[in-house]
Chains A and B, each alone.
Chain A
Amino acid sequence: MSTTADRFAEHLTASTGAGAAAPPELLARVNAACAREGFAAVLAPDSADGAAAVLAICSAEGWPVLPIGAGTWLDPRGGPTRGGDVTPPAGVAPGRRATSTGADEGAVAGPETRTGDDAVAPGAAATARPPVLLSTVRLNRIIEHEPADLVIGVQGGVTLEQLDAALAAKQQWLPLDPAAAPHATIGAVAANASAGPLRAGHGTPRDMVLGVEIATGDGRLLRFGGRVVKNVAGYDGVRLTVGSRGALGLITALYLRVRGAARADRTLAVACGTGEGGARRGADLALALRDGAGCDAIELLSPAAAGRTGLVQPGWHVLVRLLGSVAAVTEAFERCQRIASGHETADVENDRPAAEVPSAVWDSLARLEASAGTAVRVTGPATGLADVTAALGRDVPTEAEGGWLMAAHAADGVIRLWRSSGPDGGPNDLAEWGTTAVTDGWTMMYDRPYELSISGRRDPRSDAEARRALAARLRTVFDPAAIMRGPWEV
């Protein structure tokens, strides 16, 4: 007997035609990740107009939509299967957002414990309908690429490896290295504003996207920004869209600012020792490198993370990546070596073994992090990195098999902890870590799974309600029927 969802799926497919059918490999990925009852349909329109048509129908008929890109971030333990229901998996304590006081200000609760005056969780606001999964895999065309402009226009479903190949053919590249699978889409990367270690020298997607085309939650096709590198015409819909995590609609196309390919690419790995001392030395060295040399990436890796990326020396490591002309990279490399050996910091007793390693280590790190089933992000001012890293290194089981891996974008004060398995079992209570690790100005929240990333984003500040109301009004502009689903703050 067909369910309501099945009937809607048939109606949607009939209305949008074969142009929206999901390719077999996407279906396979979805079926491997999600229980069948967790979604109404999987659609992959082959045009922006097709995507808009799907959204228009869903908006009109009140069916939730979850943008899934190429489906590479589907939670294998059942991410989108609950149609927006944010009940954490069994055994996982609700996340808490630790604040500068270290106290439990505004405990973040799962939906089962929210009080009546709490903001409405997506699941509670929506009906019990499972979402339509909307993919961009068939929006995979390079729209235009004029190398002399250092701008490329692509559809939202173009994959990272496809984009890299197209740019490399013209001796160009996009300095963006998120922890994502090579077949993840650039649209999803932009929607999540995902950035990797290269953010230190090159910024995040918000600094790279010049123009977007978005199919809104109510089925309109809008364009903001453009093909030029400077543009202040009208309100910045580009900045509003990038990082919106699907709250406003589906990114169907983007124009990106790219760079000329670097002629030299070198990586220095510095072993900083074990234990809390190693963590502090690594953090201090990372900031010294930030201040003393123009590094494109500076990462602090926990011993476990360093080992898993192939670094042979035990203990904490600082990885530095240098890109540019041969002469510039040579000069910067030598300067980094001097800083690492303590010569320029006058810390002559602190000899830190430094060695050049293949730049493939960055791919290893990205793949390792991309496979995470659970990810936590701890952010704050970079000057506090040493204290927070040391505390986390002390309290979080990073060394044991199956324990957490940790790395930090040292220059930006972004620490990531992740494990391949789910949050079930083992220490997983953010509050437990937060009260010991979080110091002034630092915050902690889940990035994955998405359910916990929603519940973990409670904002304890006094003006939180005003900010939330503003965000809600902005979302309503694009999605008046509130059908879009995804891991954004409610």
Chain B
Amino acid sequence: MAQPPGEPLPREVLGRLTAILGSAGVITDAGSLLVYESDGLTAYRFRPRAVLLPRNTAQTAQCVRVLADAGIAWVARGAGTGLSGGALALGNAVVISLARMDSIIDVDAGNRRARVQPGVVNVELSAAVAGAGLYYAPDPSSQTVCTIGGNVAENAGGPHCLKYGTTTNHIVGLTVVTTDGNVIELDTGAADGGLDLVGVFVGSEGTFGIATEITVRLLAIPEAVETLLALFDDVDDASRAVSALIAAGLLPAALEMVDREAIRAVEASAYAAGLPTDIAGALVIEFDGSPAAVKTDADEAVEICRQGGAREVQRATDEAERQRLWYARKKAFGAMGRIAPDILVQDAVVPRSKLPGTLREIYEIAARHGLVMCNMFHAGDGNLHPTLVFDRRDPDQVRRVELASKEMMITCVRAGGTITGEHGVGLDKREYMEMIFSEEEMAVMCDIRRAFDPLGLANPAKVLPVRVCREWVGPATRRVTDPAA
């Protein structure tokens, strides 16, 4: 779905912004704006009215103030890798790109803190502090390109958040440009008590303001790592093994699952890892910590998997082999392109104990709609990523994908889960919010949003269903109209 470009910025506004950022910091030509009309949710395109490229907090605040004065909506954008449409410029918004704010301001190794601008790439932060024996734990799959600011906006997760938590567990302070163009400092404070303004800001998907400086918590690089790959002939056995590992008191650093379709796609690609393509599923299990702890836990995990029906458990003996064992999981998305030109990735979460039954149901849903589906997901968290492959040039496929996706979401919510574990609500799951929140709860969230953004200009029409906040309604608002839904 594409929205035609809206009206250009008023000349007076454009003039003020150019005075702040210089001509190189303001993009208005149609060709350049094309780059910003989509993000990781590629089915949608919304061309922004302009793109602004501030370099620091002061410039960002001045820009927001200009836009607030003119009543112009805006959306902050990191690397544009988000999968829920969070960076799409709905409402004829202006994009405020934080790409030029990519400095690591300070590293305080003694106190295990770093202060960064939002445009710092996730993996580059870890690289920058590795010399001090530290790293930044949240590791979304897009970490080689996604930015810390985007991670904050979405409360990003990743494979290792099973043990280390998500982004919100690693943010201790923020400099925030508020929606009226002022600047406030938020910090968790060691006093612990009091409203956690940092905590409520993280994951607010760009609707509360812009974090222009972020203080993160760093962890010591684990001394030892052991990685296992357990191969199963039955998906049920694999998902039951997940529960068995957790119930045994083990806490892997990562516990991922990939199914047959994903493995086949990887083995047919340049990323082939030599895995058998007749298995039903595989678990990637990783432990980190002290050498003794890691060995003990890995030994126990091997035994649990074998008792749980694993055909084979491979154990990495060096870093190269560890990378190979991860290929099936990390390269699966990229390998999907061999199957079809488009994918839709869902992001539902269910309690671990419900994994076997939920997986069976979503496979049935995909089959019933005649769709090819792969599963590669964070099994330890119960965070499913059913991935439907299709060709968006075929309207019937698109219709069936949307129906199947909604059915899968209903299945996961009925199992006691939620609609998004790490990708965010954005535009993509806005209408699913009523599956898990009452009208009253959504109204309260709207009020919380208004407390931060009384003008309603920050990333409009995201997170909450449009009717809840009486916000902008436009052609991008689409609903599945299947009577059975």
- Looking across the interface, which residue of chain B has its beta carbon closest to that of A220? B440
Q: A457 — which chain B residues lie within 8 A by C-beta?
A: 191, 194
How many contacts between A and B, using CB within 8 angstroms?
247
Cα distance A412–B191 when bound, in Å? Answer: 11
Report the minimal beta-carbon distance from A161 to chain B, rounded to whole angstroms: 22
- A467 on the interface (CB 8 Å rule)? yes
Q: Does B193 touch A at the CB level, under 8 Å?
A: yes
Residue of A nearest to B349 (CB): A228
| Residue numbers in A under 8 Å from B329 (CB-CB) | none
Which chain A residues lie closer than 8 Å to B182 at the CB level?
463, 466
Nearest-Cβ distance from residue A173 to partner chain B, whole angstroms: 10
A325-B296, A381-B108, A471-B195 are contacts. A230–B383 as well, Cβ < 8 Å?
Answer: yes
Interface segment, A8-16, A123-131, A258-266, A346-354? A258-266
Q: Does B165 make an interface contact (CB < 8 A)?
A: yes
- Asked if A168 is an interface residue, CB under 8 A from chain B, the answer is no
B451 contacts chain A at the CB level, 8 A cutoff: yes
Q: A232 CA to B338 CA in the complex, in Å?
A: 31
Residues of A within 8 Å of B448, CB to CB, are 235, 237, 240, 474, 477
Interchain nearest-CB distance for A314 vs B (Å)? 29
Q: How far is B449's CA from A455's CA once the two chains are assembled, in angstroms?
A: 29
Nearest CB of chain A from residue B108's CB, rounded to whole Å:
7
Q: What is the chain B residue whose CB lies nearest that of A377?
A: B191
Binds B, one of A54-62, A203-211, A297-305, A427-435: A203-211
In this assembly, does A383 line the interface, its C-beta being within 8 Å of a C-beta of chain B?
yes
Q: Is the CB of B292 within 8 A of A478?
A: no
Check B246 for interface membership: any CB of A closer than 8 A.
yes
Point out which of B195, B249, B447 has the most chain A C-beta atoms below 10 A from its C-beta: B195
B227 beta carbon closer than 8 Å to chain A: no
Q: Which residues of A contact B185 (CB under 8 A)?
A: 461, 463, 467
Given A151-B351, A228-B417, A467-B184, do A414 and B190 touch, yes or no (CB 8 Å)? yes
Question: Any chain A CB within 8 A of the CB of B445?
Answer: yes
Whether the pair A331, B293 counts as a contact (CB closer than 8 A) is yes
When the two chains form their complex, are residues B421 and A236 in contact, meaning their CB atoms are under 8 A apart?
no
Interface flag for A222 (CB, 8 Å): yes
Quick check: B292 and A239 within 8 Å, CB to CB?
no
Q: Which of B166, B248, B291 contacts A260 (CB 8 A)?
A: B248
User: Which residues on A sit within 8 Å (CB–CB) of B191?
Assistant: 377, 379, 443, 445, 447, 457
Given the interface pairs A226-B418, A233-B419, A244-B195, the reply to whether A383 lies near B424 with Cβ below 8 Å is: no
Taking A237-B445, A325-B297 as contacts, is the C-beta distance between A232 and B424 under 8 angstroms? yes
When A149-B352, A233-B419, A382-B110 are in contact, do A327 and B293 touch as well, CB less than 8 Å?
Answer: yes
A90 and B290 alpha carbons, distance in the complex (Å): 54
Asked whether B169 lies within 8 Å of A207 as measured between CB atoms, the reply is yes
Contact A232 B420 (CB under 8 A): yes
A278 beta carbon closer than 8 Å to chain B: no
Interface-lining segment among A43-51, A74-82, A106-114, A188-196: A188-196
Question: In the complex, what distance in Å separates the CA atom of A192 from the CA atom of B417?
Answer: 27
Please, which residues of chain B bring their CB within 8 A of the CB of A245? 193-194
Contact B190 A222 (CB under 8 A): no
A227 touches B351 (CB 8 A): yes
Contacts of B186 in A (CB 8 A): 467
Looking at the complex, which one of A203, A443, A467, A471 makes contact with B169 (CB distance below 8 Å)? A203
Is B459 located at the chain interface by the 8 A CB criterion?
A: no
A235 touches B296 (CB 8 A): no
Min distance, Cβ A235 to any Cβ of chain B, angstroms: 5
The interface residues of chain B lying within 8 Å CB-to-CB of A328 are 289-290, 292-293, 296
Taking CB as reference atom, which chain B residue is nearest A292?
B220
Hey, what's the 0/1 contact readout for B367-411 against A, CB within 8 Å counting as 1? 000000000001001110000000000000000000000000000
Tell me which residues from 366 to 423 in chain A have a Cβ below 8 Å from any Cβ of chain B: 377, 379-383, 412-414
B472 located at the interface, meaning its Cβ lies under 8 Å from any Cβ of chain A in the complex:
no
Query: Which positions 172-205 of chain A face chain B at CB distance < 8 Å?
Result: 172, 192-195, 203-204
**Which A residue sits closest to B199, measured CB to CB?**
A239
Residues from 301 to 321 in A contacting B, C-beta threshold 8 Å: none
B192 within 8 A of A: yes
For B383, the closest partner residue in chain A by CB is: A230
User: Cβ of A239 and Cβ of B200 under 8 Å apart?
Assistant: yes
When distances are taken between beta carbons in the complex, the residues of chain A under 8 Å from B289 are: 294, 328
Contact B353 A232 (CB under 8 A): no
Q: Which 6 A-B pairs have the closest CB atoms?
A: A260-B249, A239-B199, A328-B293, A379-B190, A331-B292, A473-B451
Given contact pairs A229-B349, A235-B445, A294-B293, enumerate 5 new A-B contacts (beta carbons under 8 Å): A206-B199, A220-B440, A228-B418, A240-B195, A332-B293
**11 A–B contacts, CB within 8 A, in A order:** A230-B161, A232-B422, A232-B425, A233-B433, A244-B194, A260-B246, A328-B293, A331-B293, A381-B111, A382-B111, A470-B451
